[in-house]
Amino acid sequence: MEKNYDGIKVLSHLRDTGSRDFHFGRVIYRPGGYTGPRVQRDYELIILHSGEAVVELDESPPKPLKIESITRFLPGHHEFFRYSTTGDTHHSWCAIAPRCVPSQMARELSRAPFSIPCSELFARLFSTLFQIPPDRNPEAYRVTDQLILLLFAEFLRLAELEHPDSRPDEPLRRALAYMETHLAEENCLAGACKAAGLSHSALTYHFHRKFAHSPSRYLWKLRTERGIAMLSRTGLTIGEIAYMSGFKNPFHFSRLVKLHQGIPPREVRSQAWAQP
């Protein structure tokens, strides 16, 4: 699923970086261009400036990207972008590797709307990225990294203004916080129910209403993401990481990592460690 990760029929492509885990750029596709199929590696925000773009995301019907709106993409999802067949398509983007996204921000991004209108502040912050001189030094890289984090924070601010009821209610917030900090424990779900003050059926109702899936599925997603982060950051064996992330055996862990990332754990680690 890594074929054509950066696209086909590219007229121009500026790709820049902060540190190795922060990226941004702007790209113009010629008529008939496309990107993918691919598995998204990072948390990414895209702004479509002109032309047309449609994305096939996982098994969902194709979704059009709106001009001068911010569209967010999450790691581990299957994507296939198709661009205008009659003219050039221009968009900008910024991305952060999962291991650099704070856990609270990651939770909020997973609940945020797919697309929201771009604000003047967001546009100005994005423009500032391209004004940083190319002769980089450690201080300039830090500025770039912080600017990209600010862009994601501004996206979440806009998402809250656009959908003020998108935040979880208090019992659900307590359950989520418990699951984050106790995900490796065998009785994590029972503890989350107790922390929320809800029965298992009531907690399941809250999850389905807010996330359209069960607490168990959410927990396995958390465990898989924790394991993927440890693959990138540590030299622990796959078996050790599996058990520390709440899996009873490394085979289950490997299966979910491949489902989430499109590649097995050893390749996830190899790709992370091969980055400059």
Please spell the DSSP secondary structure of 147-206, one letter per residue: HHHHHHHHHHHHHHHH-TT-SPPHHHHHHHHHHHHSTTSTTHHHHHHHHHT--HHHHHHH
What pLDDT score does 1 carry? 44
Q: How far apart are the first and last CA of the chain?
A: 22
Is residue 45 a contact partner of residue 72, using CB atoms and an 8 Å limit? yes
**Has domain 170-274 been given CATH number 3.40.50.300?**
no
What pLDDT score does 197 carry? 92
What pLDDT score does 185 carry? 92
Q: Look at residue 89 and tell me whether its pLDDT is greater than 80.
A: yes
What is 8-162's CATH number, 2.60.120.280, 3.10.510.20, 2.60.40.10, 2.30.30.40? 2.60.120.280
Rounded mean pLDDT of 6-30? 84
The mean pLDDT of the chain is 87
Q: What are the beta bridge partners of residue 91?
A: 27, 48
Q: What is the spatial distance between Cα 56 and Cα 136, in angstroms, rounded to a whole number?
A: 36
Q: pLDDT digits over 227-274, tens only?
A: 888 888 788 899 999 999 999 999 999 999 988 888 899 988 887 777
The residue count for the chain: 276
Q: pLDDT digits over 136-194, tens only?
A: 677 778 888 999 999 999 999 888 876 655 555 788 888 988 998 899 999 999 999 99
Q: Do domains 8-162 and 170-274 have the same CATH topology?
A: no
Question: Any idea where the domains of the chain sit in the sequence?
Answer: 8-162, 170-274
Q: What is the spatial distance between Cα 14 and Cα 149, in angstroms, rounded to a whole number?
A: 20
